[in-house]
Each structure stands twice: as C-alpha cells, then as structure tokens.
Structure 1
C-alpha cells in the first residue's frame, strides 16, 4: 500500500533561513499548492492523508472541506507550525474535530520533532507518524529506530519510509533532488521489502517559492512549483502502472491491526 501524506501548514520555512514572508502569503502559497495536489489526486482517483495545523485549517476551511468530501483523511500537525506546547496535542485534535466534524486519529509533529509517547497516547491519538528513521546531519539521528511500524504502548508509530539498504530517506527533499528514475528504484525496493511506502510532502512544494526574499537554499526549491506538479503527476502514474494500491493512514492501521 502507498501512503501518500501532506503536511499542510503555514509556509514559514523562509523564517528558518532569515528570510522574509508575511503571514498572508504563507497561507496563500500553501493554499495554492494544496489545490494543485487535490487536483492531481482527483485525476488519478487516489486517497491520501493530510496532517494540518489548526492555523492553516482555520484559514482554509473550504479546502479542508473539499479534501474530506473527496475521501481523504484529515489528521493533526498540531496547532502552529513553529510553536509547540504539549497541550497542543489534544487541543489541536479537538479543534479540528470541532471545525470539520471528522474523527482525528493521527498525529505528525512539525518538522518531525520528538514528542512524549505518553503525551500522544493521553491526547487520544491511535497512530503517530513523526519519525524519519535515518541520519540527516543537523536534523535527525534515528538509525537505531525501527524502519517499519511499531507500537508505543497503544499508539502505532508509522515512520517515514527509508530504503531497505543504507536507510536512504524517501521524503520530500530526496524526491526533489534525486533523479526520478533513482527515486522510483528506491520506492520499488521499499515496497517489495515492507509491503508499504510512507512518503510525505508539503503543499508549498507545488507552488512558486523561488523568491530571493525567502533566502531558501537551492536544494529546498529544486523542482518546485510547476516542475513538482509534473514530477509528482508522473510518479503517481508510474505507481498506478505497477498496480500498487493507495490508502489513508486510517485504512493502513485497520489493515495491520486485522
């Protein structure tokens, strides 16, 4: 099963690099990208999971309602993208459920930050996908963590996919920077070994983010915007040609618990 997921959030990444971007533009860029993602998924009739901050959801209600009406899953990306308190775990879950009358069962922490497993369980989540089980200098060192899903008390942790050999991460940055044929090879190897693929992206990758004011490094904007739309569309077509199935995290959880 292919687990496509998208962290839908205010596009605040320029602030990490001392760039400038007003809040309204952060939201608009992510909204533009989200529309393009939903159009691609609708074209291919595949379902995905969207981890949303409350901030983005409150400012994009029509788009959240659209993704739910098209059969996608909504999950929590906490309240803010750049500010976190442990109480946000339950507060964000409750607020998203209140706003959209849907059951929120999953969590992904912003920037895959570590979080207390007890706090996640106490907040009422049944799955968490907040680990990239690889080594990325300055960001992650999770080489001792299981590559595949595992239980933390009653919560299922579903790490992002990495290749069976050498734990090469299959997250958004590798999708942009690897030759597509090589990324497909890694994805194929992972699906054969694990029987599922958990890969994640962001809506702003599908929008125009090559702006000098943002001060973003070249590796973060490579193959973004229109190039990303075309690249992602081709990748989904390739997966479908191989007869892989697609599902939400909730569907995947039901399958592994049955």
Structure 2
C-alpha cells in the first residue's frame, strides 16, 4: 500500500537581500502550491492525506474545505504549538468540516502519545530532519505500526534495498527511475510505503525570492509538479494500491 501524504506549511526561509515577504504573501504561496498538488491528484484520481500546520490551519479554511470536499484526508502538522492551541484548532476545523480529524504529524517538537490521545487523535506520524546528510546518518528504523496508550504510531518508511528514507528531500532530488525502484522494492518487503512531501517544495523560486540553499531549490516548482505527475502515472499504470492514512490504519 502506498500512503501519499503532504505537509501544508509556509516556507520559513527569509527573503533574499533587502526584500520583504509578508506572512500574507507566504500564505498565498502555500495556497497556490497546494492547489497545484490537488490538480495533479485530481487528474490521476488518487486520494491522499494533507497534514496542515496548526498555526495556519484557521487561515486556510477555504482551502481545507476544498481539500476535504475532494475526498482527501485532513490531518494536522504540529511545528511548535502547545496542547491548548492544538485542541482549539482541532475543535474549530472539525466544526468546519463536520468530521473528526484523526491524525497528527510531529517533527522537532513532539508531544507525548498520552496527551495526543486525550485530544482524541487516533494516530501520530512522526518525521525526522531531511537535510543533505541526514539520509546517510541513520539507515535502520522500525517500519511497523505500533500502539502506545491507544494511539497508533506510524513510522517513516525506509527502503530495505537502497537504505534511503522516503522523506521530502529524497523525493525532490532522486531521479524518478531510481525512486520507482525504491518503492517497488520496499513494497515487496513491507506492508506499506509512507511518502511525504512539503507544499513549499512546489514554490517557483525564480518568481518568489526566498533565500533557500541551492540544493533545496533544485528540481522545485514546476519540476516537482512534473515529478509528482510522473509518480502518480506510474502508480496507476501498475495498478498499485493507495490509501489515505486514516483508512489504512483503521
């Protein structure tokens, strides 16, 4: 099973030189990038899970409704929000969608499973740093879903043959032929492949002057759209099963 997921986050990079990029402009970039992702998913009729960053979720209500209306899952991505903020945003978004938000994703700032369970989450998907050297620092991890305090803990996937993680950076830099081989080999060994991509990777860095490292701007923008389109075409051509996170876990 392929679990395709997207982190909906504002790009954190500063503007180049003396330029200023407001929070409103960053939000518009995020909306535009997410709409591009939705268009590609629609073309291939594939459903995914969207992890919306807590601090911007209520500013993206129309976008969140559009994502949900197309049959995709809405979950949360917590950068550094506390339990009280998460609870309030979860309550408001559930009221907006008239459905429960079951999942949450964490990276640097990780809340305890028992606290997340109190907020009535059903699963947590924790992720690690994805920089230039990270993929070669940690080559083994648990790839099976387990439970803690009644909460399903979903690990990142790693290719057993190529020994590379399925993080956002790997998707961006690896040639698609190599990436497809990774997915194919992993599915022969594991029950699922969890892929995650950040919305900011679809930014046109020639148009928007963010000061990002060169290796992070490579193959971004339209090239990321083309790569996602190629992956989804390959998935459908080979009749490979995909699922939203909440459906697979429950």
Pairwise TM-score range, normalised by the shorter structure: 0.7 to 0.9
Structure 2: distance between partners of 1:152 and 1:135: 29
Any idea what the Cα deviations from partners look like across 1:165-204, whole Å, max 9, x if unmatched? 4641111111111122111111111112112111111222
Q: TM-score, normalised by structure 1?
A: 0.85
Deviation at 1:114, TM superposition (A): 2.9
Q: 1:5 Cα deviation (Å)? A: 0.8
Change beyond 3 A, Cα 1:54–1:122: same
Show CA shifts across 1:223-244 (max 9, x none).
Answer: 1111111111011101111111
* Distance of 2:75 and 2:127 partners within structure 1: 16
Question: What SS does the aligned partner of 1:77 have?
Answer: strand
Residue in structure 1 matched with residue 217 of structure 2 by the alignment = 221
Structure 2 residue 166 is matched with structure 1 residue 196 = no
The alignment partner of 2:126 has SS state of: coil
Counterpart Cα distance in 1 of 2:142 and 2:129: 7
Residue 64 (structure 1) shift: 1.2
Q: Which residue of 1 aligns with 2:53?
A: 53
Aligned residue among 183, 189, 195 for 1:187: 183
Work out the CA distance in 2 between the residues paired with 1:245 and 1:137.
31
Residues 142-181 of structure 1 show CA distances to partners (whole Å, capped at 9, x for unaligned) of: 7674122211221111112111146411111111111221
State the shift of 1:40 in Å: 0.5
Q: Measured at CA, do residues 74 and 112 of structure 1 come closer, stay the same or move farther in structure 2, by a change above 3 Å?
A: farther
TM-superposed CA distance for 1:133, in Å, is: 10
Rounded to whole Å, the distance in 1 between the matches of 2:248 and 2:22 is 38
The runs of 5 or more residues in structure 1 that have no matched partner are: none
* 1:92 pairs with one of 73, 89, 92: 89
What TM-score comes out, normalization by structure 2 length?
A: 0.87
Q: How far is 1:118 from its partner?
A: 1.8
1:39-118 correspondence to structure 2 within 5 Å:
39-78=39-78, 81=79, 83-109=80-106, 111=107, 113-118=109-114
The answer to whether the 8 Å contact 1:30/1:203 transfers is yes
Instruction: Give the aligned CA root-mean-square deviation in angstroms.
Output: 2.7
The 1:100/1:141 distance shift into structure 2, 3 A limit, reads farther
**Alignment partners' CA distance in 2, 1:241 and 1:74:** 27
User: Kindly tell me: are residues 52 and 69 of structure 1, through their superposed partners in 2, closer, same or farther at Cα, counting changes over 3 Å?
Assistant: same
Paired residue secondary structure (2:240): coil
Measured against aligned partners, the alpha-carbon deviations of 1:36-81 in whole angstroms (never above 9, x if no partner) come to 1110111100100111124433222222111111111111124xx4
Counterpart of 1:6 in structure 2 is 6
Structure 2, unpaired ranges of 5+? none
Deviates most, 84-93 or 147-156:
84-93
